Structure 1
Amino acid sequence: MRNLRAAGLAAAVAVVGGWAGPARADVKLPAIFGDHMVLQRSLPLNVWGWAEPGEDVTVKFHGQTRTTKGGGDGKWSVVLEPVAAGGPFEMVVSGKNTVTFNDVLVGEVWVCSGQSNMQWSVAGSTDADLEIAAAKFPNIRLISVPQVGTQEPQKDFKGQWKVCSPETVGPFSAVGYFFGRQLYETLGVPVGLINDAWGGSACEAWVPREKLAADPKYKDLLASWEEREKGYEAAKKAYEDAKAQAKAEGKPGPKPQDDPDGLMKGNHRPGNIFNGVLLPTIGYGIKGAIWYQGESNAGRAYQYRDLFPLMIQAWRELWGQGNFPFYWVQLADFLPEKPEPGDSSWAELREAQTMTIRRLPNTGEAVIIDLGEAKDIHPKNKLDVAQRLARWALARDYGVNIPYQSPTYKAMEKHDGKVVLTFDHVAGGFAPFDVAEPRGFAIAGADKKFVWAQAKIVGPDKIEVWSDKVSQPESVRYAWADNPVCNLYSGVGLPLTPFRTDDWPGVTANATR
């Protein structure tokens, strides 16, 4: 593991080879290290920073001492042996100067990432006043990374670790905080949460641009951005030339044009968030990541089938911790309910998310098809979202014996004009909500025209589906809509994962940019 993490850190350093700039006389560490930080337990710990080239640097922590020298660019790094949970401890880093970090804990560290529903604050969530008043958890620590969009790899950010309290928790990610709180209350060890979410962000902005450029599937996407970038550079040059000419002629300069930097520095440009937000944290020891994103990519859901796994793989490769846990939130229900079955880009994005579980190891999905709000893309109930994520982590990574995965479609059999569906992960059998009969199923024949179906539970993991309007069924779908009416749960209260039995081309099948 130590060699793997060292290799990962080296890869991250290579990505940001242009970081260092002028030599620094003083020893300095990035903001991810600081007072009140939490270091990941039971894991070799990377510590890095900058000093004068050739300067001796010593790191002391928990009885360990490591000595190294600043490289030609001033960068240095050491790896500490794993430490058990506990604290508070002190870390001392010394060279020509000394940097001391106090109140350092060792426990579980998770990255909380995605777009606005991950960014959504505790202060904006359900029962915010009660949650904030109760947030007295000195062994939970919080740090947020500012939103910087750039094509230039960043070495650092402006931020600091904070002790969780009623005074500090309000602006923090609600899903992140509630997830971390559940871990803390269950495990009884310190928890550190790194919030780097950016509202409205597209998945491609979180991916190293060179990874996208190496895959022909993203040729159209990158080409569209290259056109915008050329247009931006041309407009910028024309403005600067006109400004210079006006000054030379003693005339008033041209009026500033609409600033396109909102696009160039924004949260959709490929690689922007990876470089500006994620990269300064890569290499810091973590247990895993939680993710809530997809709304901005719903119009390209088929592309997301590959894009999302590519992003996860890129993060894992650069972090150098192997296949660390990566759990995400499936898109909630949103927009008006439709009277008849039909196509849905949001349903296709949910499908792409679910597919990723089969594509990559150590991944999982919190299904929240029941927690959305038709009129608001930001549902306020973040507690239940976080608890469904926490089930994955507690069961898979910490050995807590609890159900964690929503029921998922497994197989279908056709007989006598009906379809019998079989499911996995139906802990406690099926339990319809509100009414006795299952709702949310649609059925179609070879003509691909879906109609609402009747359904009946015929076993602990089986449901029979039919319609008098379809004599020879070919496909069944469940909760296949932007905002479906559906009511099936497992016996432990986890909703059935939306699915379809067919692979007929969807409305986003050809969307690439």
Structure 2
Amino acid sequence: MRRSVFSCVLLLALSIATVSANVSVTTLFSNSMVLQRNMKVPIWGTASNGESVTVTFNGQTKTTTTGSNGKWKVIFDPMIEGGPFTMTIKGNNTITITDVYMGEVWHCAGQSNMDTRLNYYPHYNSIQNSYNNPKLRYYTMRQSRANTDGYTTSNVWKTCTSSANNGALSCLGFFFGKEIQSKLGNNVPVGLIVSAVGGTKIASWIDTETAAANPQMATQDASTEPASMYKAWIAPITGCAMRGTILMQGENDRTSGQQVYYEERFKLLINGWRKVWGIGDFPFYYVQLANGYGAKQTVPGESATDMVIREGQRLGLALPNTGMVVAIDALGSGDSLHFSNKQLVGQRLSLIPRAIDYGEKSLVYSGPMYESMSINGNKISIKFRNCSGGLATNDNKAPVSFAVAGSDKKWYWATTAEIAGDVINLTCANVTAPKYVRYAYASNPVTNLYNKEGLPASPFTTEGNQLPVSIVNKPVMYKTEAIMAQNPAVNLLGRQINTINVAGVHLDATKRLVNTVLSPVKMVHK
């Protein structure tokens, strides 16, 4: 009888504790946080079932009622940059969050080359010790994998105002954020949310819904649990307001035969994250796998798993709102896989949003990318995009690392390689009927091809899938089948635009177009 009474009292106590649970939020919403400007901002947390929760911030007040699952969410209207502000969250208790800024938020993802901290590299000690900028802030997701709800971590936002804080930030993220914040100016803080973990494969980062829809991933690599990293490090932050994601990943997918699946999985990851975030096709910018740290390439037909990864990443540019940094020259003498020139690559990575998202329209942000090939007898012409100033070599010598093959796919080095504007003209004495061309197709190739802005050309092969002739970094992709020049603007599926890019030709629809076919535009949403 006593045991029965005790049990009833215990159940009653637990029931009361559940009913009066305190309102709480993940530490993603904590002191010194940066929230995304000019975008709707969701704030979420937990409380007692049916509890009224009121959140007040920057002149706005939002009230909601906690659902039966114990969760609540409010959404603030877009706000311009500014701060510091204070946020109060009131339910049965009150939470006060101070030193909050509106600015630009970027998600930093990937594996060890994104995760490795600034203090890992002694040659950056001086900048680590001297950099003092309260407008650059970060939050690193490093809670135990068992704590996948995001509420049981002790992590907090930090400001880049001390050597200790600077040193604990992703090195690549630091130099990316430093460049962005400097270019945007003192009025626009930048916040970095870092969720990178070393030694991980891409299948582990794919979201749970996409992983469930692609069960073959589990059988293709028994050593990797699909979506495991996603559950631990991405799920707790999905839906937060942000400008976009930067990523460096792929090193671990070079082994165990997993490289052959990379292109497909890379696109699954991007599309899946965009779906679960629910903010459209947000910017997704990434670093192509850097050059290897082994012996330099000497034979033209090297079989390189690294290059399969790089090709998958290059072909990822077919997705809208993507951009890629080429890092084929990043590893220096004596470097390990964790290349030491993170400053160079971070600066290159910052060029993409500066040009696409922050208005520096004339800024060249990409190295030369293979566009098309034409063959005339034994002569091959390779045309590149992203080289408005023309192609160049960094040693003033002829371009190297071009290999040519016929239909038998026996590879030989090109005999001659000459630059003509945005074209490389090749010949190969060993191949009388050329069909395929590769550039820098190796783990650690010798390269010297750049655009005149100093950005390296991406490795490529003309075998297999290729990018469309014209790539437009817009939230929605369209295929143009005809040109209409009768109206001052064009409306595409509810989106009014003033310019069109057709097969690489930029048209301004607000100006009169002369000698143009006047026929209806048929836009097919891809």
TM-score by length of 1: 0.82
Q: Which residue of 2 aligns with 1:366?
A: 325
Structure 2: gaps spanning 5 or more residues: 1-16, 466-526
Out of 352, 355, 358, the position equivalent to 1:395 is 355
Instruction: Map 1:61-460 onto structure 2 (within 5 A).
Output: 61-125=57-121, 127-146=123-142, 148-149=144-145, 157-165=153-161, 166-188=163-185, 189-215=188-214, 217-218=216-217, 220-221=219-220, 224=222, 268-299=224-255, 300-334=258-292, 335-341=294-300, 342-358=302-318, 360-373=319-332, 376-401=336-361, 402-460=363-421
Shift of 1:126: 6.3
RMSD between aligned alpha carbons?
Answer: 1.9
Could you tell me how far 1:76 is from its partner in structure 2?
A: 0.9
Q: Specify whether residues 452 and 39 from structure 1 end up closer, same or farther in structure 2 by C-alpha distance, changes over 3 A only.
A: same
Kept in 2, the 8 Å contact 1:213–1:219? The answer is no
- Contact in 1 for aligned 2:143/2:153 (Cα 8 Å): no
Structure 2 distance, partners of 1:29, 1:417, is: 66
8 Å CA contact 2:217–2:226 kept in 1: the answer is no
Taking the aligned partners of 1:411 and 1:202, their CA distance within structure 2 comes to: 32
Give the alignment's TM-score, normalised by structure 2: 0.80
Q: Deviations over 1:158-185 (max 9, x none)?
A: 3100111223010210111111111100
Tell me if structure 2 keeps the 8 A contact 1:122–1:131: no
Separation in 1 of the partners of 2:180 and 2:152?
Answer: 28
Relative to structure 1, the CA distance from residue 270 to residue 493 in structure 2 (aligned partners, 3 Å threshold; closer, same or farther) is same
What amino acid does structure 1 have at the position aligned with 2:327?
I
> Which digits, 9 at most, give the CA deviation of each residue in 1:76-101, with x for residues without a partner?
11111111001001101111211111
Q: Structure 1 residues 22 and 338 mapped into 2: Cα distance closer, same or farther (>3 Å)?
A: farther
1:364 Cα offset (Å) = 0.9
Q: Secondary structure at the match of 1:395?
A: helix
On the 8 A contact 1:413/1:419 being kept in 2, the answer is yes
Identify, as 1 or 2, the structure richer in helix: 1
Q: Which runs of 4+ in 1 moved over 6 A?
A: none
> Once the two structures are aligned, what percentage of the paired residues are identical?
38
Counterpart AA for 1:120: T
2:517 corresponds in structure 1 to none
Partners of 1:32 and 1:284 within 8 A in 2: no
**Structure 1 counterpart SS, 2:231:** helix
Distance in 2 separating the partners of 1:366 and 1:438: 20
Cα deviations by residue, 1:30-65 (Å, 9 ceiling, x for unpaired)? 110000000000011101111111222110001111
Please say if residues 423 and 461 of structure 1, whose CA atoms lie closer than 8 Å, have aligned partners that are also in contact. Answer: yes
Q: Deviations over 1:438-483 (max 9, x none)?
A: 1111111222111111343342111111222222211111000000
Kindly state the Cα deviation for residue 148 of structure 1 after the two structures are TM-superposed: 3.8
Query: In structure 2, what is the Cα distance between the partners aligned to 1:114 and 1:26?
Result: 35
Work out whether 1:53 is the aligned partner of 2:42: no
1:149, CA displacement in angstroms? 3.8
Alpha-carbon deviations, 1:294-335, whole Å to 9, x = none? 011123222111111111111111111100001110011112
Does the aligned pair in 2 maintain the 1:298–1:346 contact within 8 Å? yes
Cα deviation, residue 373, structure 1: 4.1
Find the aligned partners of 1:80 and 1:118 in 2 and give their Cα distance.
Answer: 31
| Equivalent residue for 1:44, pick from 25, 40, 64 | 40
Q: Post-superposition shift, 1:209?
A: 3.6
Question: C-alpha offsets along residues 262-310 of structure 1, whole Å, 9 cap, x if unaligned?
Answer: xxxxxx4221111111111112111101000001112322211111111
How far does the alpha carbon of each residue in 1:388-440 deviate from its partner, in whole angstroms, 9 at most, with x for none? 11111111111113101221111111123121111111131111012421111
Equivalent in 403, 408, 426 of residue 465 of structure 1: 426
Q: Is the 8 A contact 2:34 2:105 kept in 1?
A: yes
CA distance in 2, matches of 1:132, 1:363: 30
The Cα of 1:147 is off from its aligned counterpart by: 5.3
Q: 1:500 to 1:81 in 2, by over 3 A?
A: same
Pair 446,50 (structure 1): closer, same or farther in 2 beyond 3 Å: same
Partner deviation per Cα, 1:15-44 (whole Å, 9 max, x = no partner): xxxxxx956621111110000000000011
Query: Is the 8 Å Cα contact of residues 31 and 158 (structure 1) preserved in structure 2?
Result: yes
Which of structures 1 and 2 has the larger relative contact order (alpha carbons within 8 angstroms, sep 6+)? Answer: 1
Determine helix, strand or coil for the equivalent of 2:204: helix
Q: Is the 8 A contact 1:438 1:456 kept in 2?
A: yes
